[in-house]
Amino acid sequence: MVSWHAAKALAMALPETEERDHFGSPSFRVKGKIFAQLSAPENQEPRPLVKLSSADQAALTMSDPSTFLPAPHWGRHGSTYKTLASVEEPIFRDVPLRSWRQIAPKRLVASGALRGFS
Exposure string for 8-31, b = 16+ CB within 10 A, e = fewer: bebbeebeebeeeeeeeebbbbbe
Query: Could you give the domains of the chain?
Result: 4-105 (3.90.1150.30)
**Where does the pLDDT of residue 57 fall: very low under 50, low under 70, confident under 90, or very high at 90 and above?**
very high
Give the predicted TM-score (pTM) of the model.
Answer: 0.86
- Report the mean per-residue pLDDT for the chain: 87
**Where does the pLDDT of residue 118 fall: very low under 50, low under 70, confident under 90, or very high at 90 and above?**
low
Q: Convert the pLDDT of each residue in 75-110 to its tens digit.
A: 678 889 888 888 888 888 899 999 999 999 999 999
